Structure 1
Amino acid sequence: MSNHSEAPVAPVEAYEPPYYVAVFSTVRTPNQNDYSETNARMEDLVKDVPGFLGMDHAQTPGGLGITVSYFRDADALTEWRTNVEHRAAQERGRADWYQSYTLHVAKAERSHGFLRAEARQSPTAG
């Protein structure tokens, strides 16, 4: 959602299932007034939801954006979905920022990860 170029690039860790996954895929309009600020606020706000596990983002050169959010249980996902500020941002998105979007919600039943051995070592300052 926001540009975290200073942060290391890594996917959200694999969590012990079951948990919920919300996949939000978007194509944005040319009108992006206040999008970055609202997006940053939503990223901060969702972190306060008990049961929020993390978020992954990707953007294609062609303009398809994908945000995958992870929640421990359905109650956490419902709390986020019904948050007043989030609801207002959703309305603004439909009115101004999104040409189209899809939202898929699924219950994860299996999860695992991989990290190359040399990736575990801290890079040396140069």
Structure 2
Amino acid sequence: MSNIHSEAPVAPVEAFDPPYYVAVFTTVRTEEQSGYSETNARLEDLVKDVPGFLGMDHAQTPGGLGITVGYFRDGDALTAWRDNAEHRAAQKRGQAEWYQSYTLHVAKVERSHGFTRT
């Protein structure tokens, strides 16, 4: 899992052997964020238990655009996460309270590589 809330050095999720899937969730939040941090932390814990979950990257711009990329080994893993009851409930609350707007893009990765300076 990426370093969303940790003290560890910042690093992207590693490159995996394709094919695999990514879910790119891009958001702009509202002023009303009551309960968001707790729910987000809970969902981060839950997704780790999905068989086939590979990791997550997150970035936030100073202007308020948030981007979260989840990596999944296959379509079944992505479907399991989509259909998780707590995740579904959080989606509804997000639409009602936390998000001004969002987009979700799901893609199959055909090529992947990485670099780390040593």
TM-score range, shorter chain: over 0.9
In structure 2, the residue matched to 1:113 is 114
Paired residues for 1:63-102 under 5 Å = 63-102=64-103
Q: CA deviation at 1:107?
A: 0.1
What's the CA shift string for 1:25-72, capped at 9, x where partnerless? Answer: 000000000000000000000000000000000000000000000000
Paired residues for 1:35-50 under 5 Å = 35-50=36-51
Alpha-carbon distance in structure 2 between the residues aligned to 1:116 and 1:3: 21
What's the CA shift string for 1:64-102, capped at 9, x where partnerless? Answer: 000000000000000000000000000000000000000
Task: Provide the identity percentage.
Answer: 81
Alignment RMSD: 1.4
Rg: which structure is higher?
1
Q: CA deviation at 1:8?
A: 1.6
Aligned partner of residue 49 in structure 1, secondary structure: coil
In structure 1, the residue matched to 2:11 is 10
Amino acid at match of 1:20: Y
Aligned partner of residue 76 in structure 2, secondary structure: helix
Contact 1:19 1:73 in 2 (8 A): yes
- TM (norm. structure 1) is 0.90
Contact 1:23 1:69 in 2 (8 A): yes
Aligned partner of residue 77 in structure 1, secondary structure: helix
